[in-house]
Structure 1
Amino acid sequence: MRSSSRSTPFRPSLICLALAAALQAGSAWAVEPFPVKDIRVEGLQRSDAGTVFASLPFRIGETYSDEKGAAALRALFATGLYKDVRIDIDGNVVVVIVEERPVIANIDFVGLKEFDKDQLVKSLRDFGISDGQPFDRALADRAEQELKRQYLTRSLYGAEVVTTVTPQERNRVNLSFTITEGSAAKISEIRINGNKAFSESTLTGLFDLNAGSWLNFYTKADRYSRAKLDADLETLRAYYLNRGYLEFNVESTQVAISPDKQDITVTINVKEGQPYTVSSVKLEGDYLGKEDDFKTLVQIKPGEPYRAETVTQTTRAMSDRFGTFGYAFAKVEARPEIDRVNGTVALAITADPARRVYVRRINVAGNTKTRDEVVRREFRQFESSWYDGRKIKLSRDRVDRLGYFSEVNIDTNEVPGSADQVDLVITIKEKATGNLQIGAGFSSADKLSLSGSIKQENVFGSGNYLGLELNTSKYSRTLVVSTIDPYFTVDGISRYIDVFYRTQRPINSQGEEYKLVTPGASIRFGVPFSEYDTVFFGIGFERTEIKGTNLPVNYRNYVTEFGPTSNSVPLTIGWSRDSRDSALVPTAGRLTSLNFDWGITGEAKYLRTNAKFQQYIPLSKRFTFGFNADLSWGKGLGGHPYPIFKNFYGGGLGSVRGFDQNSLGPVDVTGAYIGGNRRFNMNAELYLPIPGTGNDRTLRWFTYFDAGNVWGENDKVTADSIRASAGLGLTWVSPVGPLKISYGTPIRKKPEDRIQRLQFQIGTAF
């Protein structure tokens, strides 16, 4: 007698039908219960017999019955390992006969161009299709659909996927997906219906998606994506809500694709409603007796159009203010009362501070390398202190600015059984902080230069920095070994140590071969006087040697009087304050710094100072105005002239563009540009988005106005001596570093000036 069931491929419903049929067949299929003397498994090729035994609901010595046989079949099919399973009864021996499913030996893709292979392999793995897994035709069909779905996200609506299964030895198969990608469908038109207050071109100009931009080959902004469309619709909604259209609504969207699957038309139907003006703003609820304090946070003014963004900023600011008083769970809501007849809206801002809490414990999670103390020392919120939302945000920002982590999040958890306590959990995700770089750069001044560096910003998880840098620029060659201990003392005083060897070749017009060789070392300490202000103190040693023949007159005179070698021990005092939102692509904030170098002893005694001011002003979401002013001054001390090798230079990128690099200022009788002891630069730039790039700030063009010059000790600083230029340029945060290209025209110049209209460099700033 035997009990059997077949399923090819596996379908649980078929098993149930087969079992039901077997039970209805009566005693012809029934097996009298009997004690199992032995269990044999037949048909195994790869899987272990233990897998079969583990699925059986009976063991040797136990009683076998039809119910247990049916349960065994269900359990074995449920493993997904077997294409067919039978149970035969041979006397008191149960024989389990299995036919294993083939195993996937290899997955390959033919015709793949749009995606990286690893990306698709990971996507298929989520569907159970991967090397070493049992093959199921149904899963393969699902894999085809998943691959097509992936191509739909890239607007490749004509993509075709054909699956080929090739049997291999030992019941294995190779799985190959042959893909015909075709060309991407492109958005040919975006239409907006129902708009009256604003033109269609104005509204579609807000979108990241577009039709027909000349930069779409780079931005791919004409590739339709539902996620991108949803984001654009939110941008559209925000645009109306911030202009008084409180009842604006996107009623529907239609996406139509042409029969050849190459053109897409997007139609957006909107209902604008009427614009509303704020008639009044009142505070309701509990404001802890500090209504006057909270009123200063209200940015909504009666008589102005209703702006959703301003309302959100007000309620968020109030919630944050409650947080500074320890009310972590305060609720602040703005309730609009609409008067459609008069087109006004009265706002009632309701506050419920809930309960005041304090922080019981701060936990650090996710750090596998960085020590806890490196994270904790950045915290300004302390344990067993009242909850302060402002300090918590500051703590999170300080940890993020360390640069050791790709993600930094702080969660507030209530303490079970306590109404006035919370725990903070700061969850971090480590990232690689070691860096080995070998690169090349090209600039209009330096030509080809090679650079390399080995850096470790978080040595052994201690938060310390160690680095070796090398640069082979034509005019400035540098070898620097640096180390930084950001917490040299527990109070947060930082220590910087640099050992360097620099070779500089001043630019001149006669081609003289001479250079300045400067080995040296310095130690500096940074003392934080506030969360944003740091004062630096330091001392160093430098030895400068003027090498070469046929020196410019000023260099020859200096060597004649003081010799070719000069030693100096400079003291350094500096201050900086940086509130920019980004050091790489700033759009808001300010950078201010002031530095003094005082050569107190040696052959070179001098005082050298530099003051810098940068301000970035966001004119809109996509336009930024930047201003930079740089003032430098130097003077010789102790009866010595100012060392010529400490001169400042001007002209070119980083100074006054449109003039040849380092060509401004005094020129000696040989025509060499020798720089001066005074320098002034002023730069103004207006950053604008590249059409078609949306809000991408890594690629922008700009217009600029520069002014400045360099003066020697005997030169008179006059307005007439100021050089100026204007032009436009392109800035791009490229994979090899920030790239800046500018084309300018001098608008204030002298006949002897050297002009260079096109200039570019990788890694430059203002």
Structure 2
Amino acid sequence: MNGVVKRAAGALLVMYAAGAWAQSYDFQIDNIKLEGVQRLEPGTVLTYLPVSVGDQMTEARAQQSIRALYDSGLFQNVGLDRQGNTLIVNVSERPEIASFKLEGNKAIGGKKLKEALKKQGLAQGELYKRSLLDSLQQELRRQYYANGYYSVKIKTNVKHLGNNRVAIDIKIKEGPIASIKDINIIGNHEFTDDQLKSVFKLKSHKPFYDHPLTFWKHPDRYSREKLVGDLESLNSFYQNRGYIRFNVSSVQVSLSPDKKNVFITINVDEGPQYKIKNYKFAGDMIVPEATLQRLVKVKDGEIFSRKKVQESTDAITSGMADFGYAFASVDPLTKIDDDKKTVDLTFFVNPGKRTYVNQIVFEGNEKTNDQTLRREMRQFEGAPYSRRAVQRSRTRLARLPFMQDVKVNTKKVPGSDDLVNVDYDVTERAAGQINAGIGYSDSEGFLINGGVKHTNFRGTGDTIQVNASTNQYTKTVSGSFTNPYFTPEGVSRTISAFYRKTNQLYSSSSSYDIDSFGAAMTFNFPITEYSTLRAGLGLEQDTIQSVYNSNGTLGVSQQVAKFVRENGRTANTYELRTGFDRDTRNRTYFATRGSDTQLLFNIKGPGSDLEYYKASLEHQRYFRVGSWIPKLSDKVVLQVDGKVGQTGVWGKGTDVPPYDNFFAGGAQSVRGFRSGGLGPQDSFGNAYGGKFLTTLQTDLVIPTFLKSDNKTTRLSLFYDMGNAYRNASDFSFSRMGHSAGVAFDWFTPFFGLLRVSYAPYVSKAERQDSTNRFQFSFGANF
């Protein structure tokens, strides 16, 4: 409005000046004289003037000159006059803004507002324009009203200083935020007010303890944008329940006299409920109709649902993309019979041309070789486009341990209607990890451990790992190297070796010295897209030292002494390693769907000094709870991890070595208990382990306010249970340890994967079980 007024006033001034000039005679300009110039240099004014000395002055040129000086924005008033053949230019400069202050705006603005004002010319050193100041005041008031500050007061003070300067001071008194007192819905008969209000993000004001999980979002603050969104949600609510003719007839928003309360009244016309009479397909049926039938979510005779129709449309579109028609369109056409209250539904299919992949491009892989990513592709260049293959490729990339996030975008090739480029935008996480720790306790003494692991060595996807640790009880050095593509077909190979000198397995276990060293080579063979077989061979030597003290007394527990008497102190063994793994998780870290099943069976082969086996079955599964409970976010995930283990002698030897028993308790087993704190104990009352293990970890992952939620951070409520038993026949549910608490995982940029858990509830299986309610671990990335 101010701009229109400004332009109209300028036009009038130009017309008036031109009219006044028409009373003068045309003349040739011999000289130009400026009057009213204060801060500006005369040369600056003359650059905007379209005439100069020697030009013929006319009525048209006078009008052009006045308009040019006004358009420069430097002057408030412009006039032309004549003294003989001298052109007199009278100007009144706009004052300069000496200072600009905006105070009291806590809810609106900040640095971004100041930058925006500067761009508009409202800042120190700029020229003052009243119209801009008026526009600012109106915009600020609009912004405050949109955020619920209806009692806001904006006071503008323009102080004229000397030397044609002004000081602008804007003081804002925001006042209290108006809250929604009541939302009233009129005209609803089929559904209650509470049912309809449940789909609204806007809520009437309630004490924070009535909604402790959402009070910080301020749902009682009125916003026009939120109201529009809620009306859309209301429309969807009815449309998904068969009320096709539903309509919001009017909406009234009123404010209380004190401007502290907002009242919203919504008038609705529900209309009758409609059912689907039948549905059919039309268009170019390139894909068999039987295939499309399996993708449709609606059924003949059921209540019409706009959501199901849209889901069916999306599923058919995706199904067409799996057959190479990347840009197929499916239009759901409805024919409504208002008399019978039925709907005839037709899915009109337009497949378009079959699409081929021109190029696959990777972006964001600064540390990873292109070939390392390309070998994970299930969609190939030059092949027909397949949405399923493209998405499967994205999942395989996301499951790489050095990937944090992967996004895919399909783009048409310019100038072609049957070629696309597939772009994968990857976000890498630190592939290198240094684990280090130092500490002291009266039970373990000084603790020093360290290790280096890199899951993307030199960008090849190879994993190299070296670990070393020492404390009062154990000294270990180990290393491994894994090539995930030892063969082009995807057979992986791992070579590993270790040396370990131990006089105590856990701080809570009995002491006996063990010297161990060994090496192994293991292969994983892919048998399907999701499943692999494991096969390998390992060699190991274990020696139990210092069974007796120097004075001849027994230096170990009775169980260890018995094992040495019956089987000897040294065991040379070779191990046949087998297993099966089926992994359908969407990513390795912080998965949200899918499962991982691992079956391991290792056997000390014939000819070993000890012949025994060790088997375990572990199953992880992820359920998106948000799909079950509409009010919950899709970020709510139920993670279940169960494990069963069994070991036993099959040939030579009377018992399984104590160092190969199963131990329960700890962060990876049953949280809230010390490592090895559950299960059988020896004659000294310390952890000895057992031949049978069963554990179950259950985590309910809940969303947080963190932006990286479920990508690099995860908060969960957990319930764990389990135990280790001397033999499988000793298993009993009543003899399981139980714990419950909260856990937080964070893939930190500096300390690797930080895992913290606290278990306020711990129920022991046996009175002697050892607890540790607070547990944490971390490693540093590089």
TM range (shorter): 0.7 to 0.9
The one-letter code sitting in structure 2 at the alignment partner of 1:621 is P
Matches within 5 A, 1:603-752: 611-617=618-624, 618-623=627-632, 626-631=638-643, 633=645, 649-651=663-665, 655-656=669-670, 663-673=677-687, 679-684=693-698, 706-711=720-725, 716-720=729-733, 722-723=735-736, 725=738, 744=761, 746=763, 749-752=765-768
Distance 1:629 1:378, change over 3 A: closer
Partner residue, 1:187:
180
Distance 1:14 1:496, change over 3 A: same
Q: How far apart are residue 219 of structure 1 and its match?
A: 2.4
Partner residue, 1:561:
544
Partner Cα separation in structure 1 for residue 487 and residue 20 of structure 2: 91
Aligned CA-pair RMSD: 5.5
Partner Cα separation in structure 2 for residue 596 and residue 557 of structure 1: 27
Distance 1:313 1:36, change over 3 A: farther
Q: State the TM-score, normalizing by the size of structure 2.
A: 0.71
Matches within 5 A, 1:109-188: 109-115=102-108, 117-125=110-118, 127-130=120-123, 133-165=126-158, 175-188=168-181
Distance 1:9 1:553, change over 3 A: closer
Distance 1:498 1:754, change over 3 A: closer
- Counterpart contact for 1:534–1:576, Cα < 8 Å: no
Q: How far apart are residue 495 of structure 1 and its match?
A: 0.9
- Counterpart contact for 1:536–1:573, Cα < 8 Å: no
Partner Cα separation in structure 2 for residue 166 and residue 516 of structure 1: 79
Q: How far apart are residue 152 of structure 1 and its match?
A: 3.1
Identify which range, 590-599 or 327-336, moves more after superposition: 590-599
Q: How far apart are residue 616 of structure 1 and its match?
A: 0.6
The one-letter code sitting in structure 2 at the alignment partner of 1:619 is W
Partner Cα separation in structure 1 for residue 100 and residue 777 of structure 2: 42
3-state SS, counterpart of residue 176 of structure 2: coil
Correspondence for 2:61 among 56, 59, 68: 68
Partner residue, 1:25:
20
Partner Cα separation in structure 1 for residue 245 and residue 375 of structure 2: 48
Partner Cα separation in structure 1 for residue 107 and residue 177 of structure 2: 10
Partner Cα separation in structure 2 for residue 374 and residue 39 of structure 1: 76
Partner residue, 1:577:
583
The one-letter code sitting in structure 2 at the alignment partner of 1:540 is S
- Counterpart contact for 1:36–1:64, Cα < 8 Å: no
Distance 1:675 1:121, change over 3 A: farther
- Counterpart contact for 1:10–1:83, Cα < 8 Å: no
The one-letter code sitting in structure 1 at the alignment partner of 2:629 is S
- Counterpart contact for 1:553–1:669, Cα < 8 Å: no
Distance 1:103 1:374, change over 3 A: farther
Q: Is 1:590 matched up with 2:595?
A: yes
Partner residue, 1:447:
none
Partner residue, 1:56:
49
Identify which range, 226-235 or 337-346, moves more after superposition: 337-346
Partner Cα separation in structure 2 for residue 131 and residue 401 of structure 1: 54
Q: Is 1:290 matched up with 2:288?
A: yes
Q: State the TM-score, normalizing by the size of structure 1.
A: 0.73
Partner Cα separation in structure 1 for residue 124 and residue 330 of structure 2: 54
Partner residue, 2:271:
273
The one-letter code sitting in structure 1 at the alignment partner of 2:695 is N
Partner Cα separation in structure 2 for residue 280 and residue 611 of structure 1: 47
Q: How far apart are residue 71 of structure 1 and its match?
A: 1.9
- Counterpart contact for 1:517–1:546, Cα < 8 Å: yes
Q: How far apart are residue 186 of structure 1 and its match?
A: 1.9
3-state SS, counterpart of residue 579 of structure 1: coil
Q: Is 1:248 matched up with 2:246?
A: yes
Q: How far apart are residue 277 of structure 1 and its match?
A: 2.9
Identify which range, 616-625 or 153-162, moves more after superposition: 616-625
Matches within 5 A, 1:26-41: 27-28=22-23, 30=24, 32-34=26-28
Partner Cα separation in structure 1 for residue 121 and residue 387 of structure 2: 45
- Counterpart contact for 1:543–1:568, Cα < 8 Å: no
Partner Cα separation in structure 1 for residue 546 and residue 160 of structure 2: 85
Distance 1:122 1:680, change over 3 A: farther
Q: How far apart are residue 408 of structure 1 and its match?
A: 5.1
Matches within 5 A, 1:160-239: 160-165=153-158, 175-211=168-204, 212=206, 213-215=210-212, 216-239=214-237
Identify which range, 315-324 or 166-175, moves more after superposition: 166-175
Q: Is 1:526 matched up with 2:484?
A: yes
Partner Cα separation in structure 2 for residue 34 and residue 370 of structure 1: 76
Identify which range, 573-582 or 702-711, moves more after superposition: 573-582
Q: How far apart are residue 163 of structure 1 and its match?
A: 3.4
Q: Is 1:484 matched up with 2:455?
A: yes
The one-letter code sitting in structure 1 at the alignment partner of 2:177 is A
Partner Cα separation in structure 2 for residue 529 and residue 144 of structure 1: 70
Question: 5+ residue gaps in structure 1?
Answer: 1-6, 434-455, 458-464, 505-513
Distance 1:36 1:680, change over 3 A: farther
Distance 1:684 1:364, change over 3 A: closer
Partner residue, 1:315:
313
Distance 1:343 1:744, change over 3 A: farther
Partner residue, 2:561:
none
Matches within 5 A, 1:274-673: 274-288=272-286, 290-360=288-358, 384-392=382-390, 410=409, 412-413=411-412, 415-416=414-415, 420-424=417-421, 426=423, 457=430, 465-468=431-434, 470=436, 479-485=450-456, 494-502=461-469, 514-527=472-485, 537-546=493-502, 554-556=510-512, 558=514, 561-562=544-545, 575=581, 577-580=583-586, 584=590, 586=592, 588-592=593-597, 611-617=618-624, 618-623=627-632, 626-631=638-643, 633=645, 649-651=663-665, 655-656=669-670, 663-673=677-687
Partner residue, 1:77:
70
Partner Cα separation in structure 1 for residue 96 and residue 375 of structure 2: 53
- Counterpart contact for 1:44–1:98, Cα < 8 Å: no
Distance 1:245 1:487, change over 3 A: farther
Correspondence for 2:10 among 9, 15, 22: 15
Q: How far apart are residue 166 of structure 1 and its match?
A: 6.0
- Counterpart contact for 1:597–1:607, Cα < 8 Å: yes
Partner Cα separation in structure 1 for residue 302 and residue 217 of structure 2: 38
Aligned residues: 699
Percentage of pairs with the same residue: 27
Write out per-residue CA displacement over residues 655-674 of structure 1, whole angstroms, 9 at most, x where no aligned residue.
44676776322334444446
Write out per-residue CA displacement over residues 479-535 of structure 1, whole angstroms, 9 at most, x where no aligned residue.
44443338966xxxx21223444467xxxxxxxxx45454544322334999xx987
Partner residue, 1:441:
none
- Counterpart contact for 1:740–1:762, Cα < 8 Å: no
- Counterpart contact for 1:648–1:679, Cα < 8 Å: yes
Distance 1:290 1:472, change over 3 A: farther
Q: How far apart are residue 287 of structure 1 and its match?
A: 0.9
Partner Cα separation in structure 2 for residue 398 and residue 132 of structure 1: 57
Partner Cα separation in structure 1 for residue 262 and residue 245 of structure 2: 29
3-state SS, counterpart of residue 25 of structure 1: helix
